[in-house]
Structure 1
Amino acid sequence: MKRIEVVAGVICADSFGNPAESRTPGVRYYATQRGYGDYKDGWEFPGGKMEPGETPQQALARELKEELAIDVNVGEFLCTVEHDYLAFHLTMHCYFCTIAGGKAPELLEHEAARWLAPADLRSVDWLPADVEVVTALQGRLL
């Protein structure tokens, strides 16, 4: 089975869009809806494939710049998800991030996005691997 290694950013902001720590009261998390491929319309934490020689943090900063036109501060590691899709095995390293410079994300590859409060994390149709990230995130918030 083909193996793919990716990174994903759990982007955190307060209700005013200011950078916020993952456990700050009123924190929200940025979810994006895929606009292409086999999993089009599924919701995910944004990110993408690691390039040879990149650290996960470098890959995540590059991918979020390419997909959302934002600079981020990559923070604390959240989890690594191992998930078997039909055509490939996914290894996804997930980190908390905050947006640097105050620029709002711009959807360059996704069809929609939402800021979700912790109580609303299950309100979108997450891709299977991202469901595991939501579970890990909710476990940290308890």
Structure 2
Amino acid sequence: MKKLNVVAAIIQCGEETLCVQRGPAKFDYITNKYEFPGGKIEVGETKESAIIREIKEELHLDIIEPQFFNTVHHQYPDFLITMHSFICPVEHKGLTLTEHIDQKWLKIDQLHTLDWAAADIPIVEKLQTKQK
């Protein structure tokens, strides 16, 4: 079973959080699902440097001082994912989608309205629990 070690950015501008939608994927169960952007940690890279690099590549957005939020372990049918999420405040919403087909900026209490990838759901739930 393939194991992936990845990072995910909870990008927040004011009271809104960025949600991005995947396009067609190798696995149907994540196609068109919403997720927090990010990607694989490269060899020799810290989690923090990985999230800064991935967000620059995927969204052309600069992240400064990401703050660790939580780690999720999730078993998909074809692989096991360990996802380290980080709160990443930004000053503006200006970005360019290079790998996703849609974006939404939502308040935390609206996040549940989207169809999330299964591994991202525990992050959504923790964000909503912390808000209360």
TM-score (norm 2): 0.92
Equivalent residue pairs, number: 129
Please report how far the alpha carbon of residue 98 of structure 1 lies from its aligned counterpart in structure 2 after TM superposition: 2.0
Give the fraction of aligned pairs with identical amino acids, expressed as a percent. Answer: 40
2:65 aligned with 1:65, yes or no? no
Counterpart residue number, 2:19:
31
Q: Could you tell me whether the CA contact under 8 Å between 1:82 and 1:92 is conserved in 2?
A: yes
Q: CA shift at 1:60, angstroms?
A: 0.3
Aligned-partner residue type, residue 83 of structure 2? M
Greater fraction helix: 2
Render the CA deviation track for 1:82-120: whole Å, top value 9, x for unaligned. 0000000000000000236x4611111100000011220
Separation in 2, partners of 1:13, 1:106: 15
After superposition, give the CA deviation of every residue in 1:24-61 in whole Å (9 maximum; x if it has no partner): xxx11000000231222000000000000111010000
Alignment of 1:1-142 (within 5 A): 1-14=1-14, 27-37=15-25, 38=27, 39-99=30-90, 102=92, 104-142=94-132
Native 8 Å contact 1:74 1:95 kept in 2: no
Contact 1:31/1:45 (8 A) holds in 2: yes
Gaps of 5+ in 2: none
What CA distance in whole angstroms lies between the structure 2 residues aligned with 1:99 and 1:106? 14
4+ runs of 1 displaced by more than 2 Å? none
Quick check: 1:35–1:110 contact (8 Å CA) kept in 2?
A: yes
Structure 1 unaligned segments of length 5 or more: list them.
Answer: 15-26
Aligned alpha-carbon RMSD (Å): 1.3
